[in-house]
């Protein structure tokens, strides 16, 4: 195999050794670009190609953490004639990013493998929360990657507010490098771009809506990732669920992260992500990325409630709090409209009373 080009994808002597242990001599190695159920998109020194998992991965006893995830290096068999390659081995992960899945026993859900840096994104407008930042930092440390912190949407806050947030990070003893950015004014964009090195892998994490996909689109130079519109009516809004490894022009690799969506919906101020982390975690198992956990098919939360894993009362409280915080997170115009409707409702109720 052409080693020098694999090097560009992050391949090194450590993986070479792993390949010797895990792959047959007739195998080739490739890096996982996306995972879509049992189908994968792989990339090697020549090209990208589709592959499927070999039978041993399809057993029920195989935990999700043992399945290939984005960023993994895999052993693959593919002849010219085959439409799909077949993945039958995973090289040991040098680093990983994973989170605890809900449930009794400690299970982990893989987010990405073999990443060098995790870029933790928070929006300084509404999303900023040092406690949550610290939880992300623990998650990064656990997997052996290096953290960067990125405060986005600086155009929406006063410089005094931003300075206070930076001070709060320092006060918490956080030593990870902090970047500030606005995709609107582009301030800070060059600083971020400058730290992304060729053949290194960077994984973006953070609440839904903080601007991860927008940042990645900016780095690529055109839209490769769908971003959420400003409207929260749901119309025409579609966010990609898949994680994907994207190679930038300078050779740095970035992974977007569509997960952790609940954190933003719930809002840091509400404390919901604190008290309902079990439900937040379960939502990663829902079939639809925008699942509201009320009546959607394939809802992981409803399933857990039905099975008694989640207490029904706990679930009810979650819904109540969430609905409140959703109102809080609504764009101003919509909030006003709701307020107005409520005002009208009060007025007409008063009228009814007066009429009596
Ligand atoms: N004002 C402002 N809005 C931003 C900025 N970055 C992203 N957005 C908006 O925030 C929303 C969510 O962005 P998106 O990239 O989809 O967030 P993701 O869920 O983290 O991928 C979109 O409406 C973006 O246009 C920024 O720097 N400033
Ligand atoms: Mg996104
Ligand atoms: Zn759900």
Per-run averaged pLDDT (10 residues), the chain, 356 residues:
77 95 91 89 92 88 86 92 91 89 61 96 88 85 94 95 96 95 97 97 89 94 71 39 87 83 37 67 80 88 91 84 55 49 52 46
135 alpha carbon, distance to own chain's centre: 14
241 lines ligand 1 (CB under 6 A): no
Return the pLDDT at 234: 37
Task: Output the pLDDT for position 101.
Answer: 57
Decide if 75 contacts 89 (C-beta within 8 A).
Answer: yes
What is the pLDDT, as a whole number, of residue 1? 45
CA of 269 to the centre of ligand 3 (A): 22
Domains by residue range for the chain, with CATH:
3-90 (2.40.50.140), 96-260 (3.40.50.300), 263-332 (1.10.40.50)
Atom index in ligand 1 nearest the CA of residue 207 equals: 20
Could you tell me if 84 and 74 are in contact, meaning their C-beta atoms sit under 8 angstroms apart?
Answer: no
Q: Which residue from 119, 121, 209, 241 has its CB within 8 A of the most atoms of ligand 1, so it is best to mutate?
A: 209
DSSP state string for 81-115: T-SSEEEEEEPPPSSEEEEEESSSS-EEEEEEES-
**Among residues 309, 332, 285, which one has the least CA distance to residue 99?**
285
| Assessment of whether the complete model's pTM goes beyond 0.85 | no
Lookup: tokens for 137: 């930092």
Which residues have a Cβ under 8 Å from the Cβ of 114 and sit 6 or more positions away?
10, 31, 71, 72, 73, 93, 94, 95, 96, 201
Nearest CA to ligand 1 atom 14: 211
Total number of residues shown for the chain: 356
CB 263 within 8 A of CB 132: yes
Residue with tokens 């198992």, as numbered in its chain: 285
**CB 117 within 8 Å of CB 148:** yes
Look at residue 356 in the predicted model and tell me its pLDDT. Answer: 39
Angstrom distance (rounded) from CA 356 to CA 350: 10
CA distance 93 to 140: 14
Cα-to-centroid distance, 308 and ligand 2 (Å): 32
Query: What is d(CA 227, CA 211) in angstroms, rounded to the nearest whole number?
Result: 8
180 Cβ inside 6 Å of ligand 1: no
Is residue 42 within 8 A of residue 35, CB to CB? The reply is no
Q: In what order do the strands lie in the sheet with 201-205?
A: 178-180, 146-152, 117-123, 201-205, 253-255, 245-247
Query: Is the CB of residue 153 below 6 angstroms from any atom belonging to ligand 1?
Result: yes
Q: Is the CB of 259 under 6 A from ligand 1?
A: no
Tokens found for residue 141: 């440390």
Please report the pLDDT score of residue 22 as a whole number: 87
Q: Is 213 in the pocket of ligand 1 (CB under 6 A)?
A: yes
44-98 confidence digits (pLDDT tens): 988 899 999 998 888 877 887 889 999 999 999 988 888 899 999 999 999 999 8
Distances (CA, A) of 101 to 66, 140, 180, 196, 204: 14, 16, 31, 30, 19
Nearest residue (CA) to ligand 1, atom 9: 211
Q: What pLDDT does residue 261 have?
A: 43
Decide whether any atom of ligand 1 lies within 6 Å of the 184 Cβ.
yes
The residue contributing the CA closest to ligand 1 atom 1 is 153
Tokens of 212: 């991860």
User: Do residues 181 and 212 lie in contact, with contact meaning Cβ atoms separated by under 8 Å?
Assistant: no
Residue 179, number of CB atoms within 10 A of its CB: 17
Helix (H, G, I), strand (E, B) or coil at 327: helix
CB of 214 within 6 A of ligand 1: the answer is yes
């Amino acid at each position: 195999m052409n080693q020098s080009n694999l090097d560009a994808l992050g391949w090194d002597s450590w993986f070479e050794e792993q390949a010797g242990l895990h792959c047959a001599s007739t195998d080739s190695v490739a890096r996982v670009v996306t995972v879509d159920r049992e189908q994968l998109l792989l990339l090697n020194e020549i090209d990208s190609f589709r592959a499927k998992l070999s039978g041993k991965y399809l057993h029920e006893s195989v935990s999700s953490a043992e399945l290939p995830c984005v960023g993994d290096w895999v052993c693959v068999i593919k002849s010219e004639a085959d439409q799909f390659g077949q993945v039958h081995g995973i090289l040991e992960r040098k680093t990983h990013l994973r989170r605890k899945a809900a449930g009794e026993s400690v299970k982990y859900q893989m987010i990405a493998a073999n990443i060098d840096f995790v870029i933790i994104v928070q929006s300084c407008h509404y999303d900023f929360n040092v406690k949550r930042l610290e939880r992300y930092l623990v998650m990064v440390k656990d997997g052996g990657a290096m953290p960067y912190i990125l405060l986005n949407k600086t155009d929406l806050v006063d410089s005094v507010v931003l300075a206070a947030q930076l001070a709060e990070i320092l006060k918490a003893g956080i030593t990870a490098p902090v970047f500030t950015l606005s995709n609107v004014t582009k301030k800070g964009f060059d600083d971020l771009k400058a730290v992304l090195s060729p053949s290194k892998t960077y994984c973006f994490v953070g609440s839904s809506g903080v601007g991860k996909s927008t940042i990645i689109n900016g780095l690529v130079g055109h839209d490769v990732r769908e971003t959420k519109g400003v409207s929260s009516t749901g119309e025409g809004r579609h966010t990609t669920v898949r994680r994907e490894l994207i190679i930038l022009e300078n050779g740095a690799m970035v992974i977007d992260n569509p997960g952790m969506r609940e954190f933003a919906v719930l809002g840091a101020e509400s404390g919901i992500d604190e008290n309902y982390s079990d439900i937040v975690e379960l939502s990663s198992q829902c079939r639809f990325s925008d699942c509201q956990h009320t009546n959607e098919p394939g809802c992981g939360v409803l399933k857990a409630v039905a099975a008694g894993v989640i207490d029904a009362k706990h679930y009810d409280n979650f819904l109540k709090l969430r609905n409140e915080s959703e109102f809080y997170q609504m764009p101003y115009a919509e909030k006003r409209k709701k307020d107005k409707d409520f005002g009208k409702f009060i007025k007409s109720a008063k009228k009814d009373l007066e009429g009596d």
